[in-house]
Structure 1
């Protein structure tokens, strides 16, 4: 209802301003029941002239109900960018960089090069989320090269195969994604995830974490949010 009243109010204002200037009657402040004095009436007339010069499409936008900035539960709704071919094409070429860039590009190549662009960004988010988590190394290279009780956190690093990026097109693509992540694009796809796995495996650790999303072939998880109960 408030949104409809907002639109109705704006329509009423437009109708008022659309009255030809010659038909307007200037009322004194004493006999004007609306309280619109000469000064305000003059301003309305000026706005009428200005509105007459605007394109019809622009006038239409003035009557549209504004989109809410908050969801029904009061939480601000995040605007997630669209990561598609157009987004990728707009990114600068990134075929070389420092050691941290090379570690991220290599990890994206071997872990996600066959994924859609959003899937590649999601894997990159996990790596950078780990960098910011005290439970993991504090550098990109430290994260992607970290070992665990079964081998490596990222299996490509210790699978005994060459780590050369053999597909030039795929390498260029993940290079753009790596550069964008390092340069600070919003990390909104995985909601703070620090773990992921492909759909064809079902690791036992997944039961101990909170599932955040599924993108491409990967499911993403984060540590469960702890709740402190007051005594």
Structure 2
């Protein structure tokens, strides 16, 4: 047992004594340990501390010299907007937000090209990233649900049951949802937060800057203040 350990044990033992007991060591009202350990003990502790610190410093230096990082930085998610690329991807799964995004792609864009499906996913994630919309994918997708034809995504408030009949489409769209949630770049729509089919001409589109035309959809960004 080192001198430092003995001294610290004595300090702990003294601190544990009840205030009314007769103790061999009188506790000082000062927070300075020199006041009750004594100058000689403090000097010995200081010498031992310096020795230990020197050893620890050498040890740390040796560890750092021999350290070889093994973790590789995470590579950005790379995507190609083709059916062949999606076919090579593993079957996807996920939690609530993955389910909501896959469902939105299924009912909003399953008849679109792969590029168009990625573009719709971008809009949903751009909304989730914007302070103007709810924070999560599921909240974005279901915003306004419950008011017929007053929701943000028609399939959630058109009164029809959401039934998944096309399993292959669901599997493919689930892969897109997984890639996008995992950080695939949003480079198709230039920050779009809205879209509509080319078959309609909503009034709001006149005030929103159009950012892209992909498949059967036009994409728009919210006007800047």
Alpha-carbon shift at residue 158 of structure 1 (Å): 1.2
Aligned to 1:164: 163
Query: Does 2:94 correspond to 1:83?
Result: no
In 2, the alpha carbon distance for the partners of 1:195 and 1:92 equals 30
User: Residues 181-200 of structure 1: matches in 2 within 5 Å?
Assistant: 181-200=180-199
Could you tell me whether the CA contact under 8 Å between 1:191 and 1:212 is conserved in 2?
yes
Q: Structure 1-normalised TM-score? A: 0.60
Which has the higher Rg, Structure 1 or Structure 2? 2
SS where residue 193 of structure 1 aligns?
Answer: coil
RMSD between superposed Cα atoms in Å = 1.7
Alpha-carbon shift at residue 195 of structure 1 (Å): 0.1
Could you tell me whether the CA contact under 8 Å between 1:197 and 1:220 is conserved in 2?
yes
Could you tell me whether the CA contact under 8 Å between 2:89 and 2:175 is conserved in 1?
yes
In 1, the alpha carbon distance for the partners of 2:181 and 2:90 equals 13
Provide structure 1 residue ranges, at least 5 long, that are not aligned to the other structure. 1-79, 227-231
Aligned to 1:101: 98
In 2, the alpha carbon distance for the partners of 1:167 and 1:156 equals 16
Structure 1 residue aligned with 2:132, among 130, 135, 139?
Answer: 135
Structure 1 residue aligned with 2:107, among 91, 110, 114?
Answer: 110
Alpha-carbon shift at residue 81 of structure 1 (Å): 5.4
Q: Structure 2-normalised TM-score? A: 0.62
Could you tell me whether the CA contact under 8 Å between 2:127 and 2:134 is conserved in 1?
yes
Could you tell me whether the CA contact under 8 Å between 1:91 and 1:180 is conserved in 2?
no
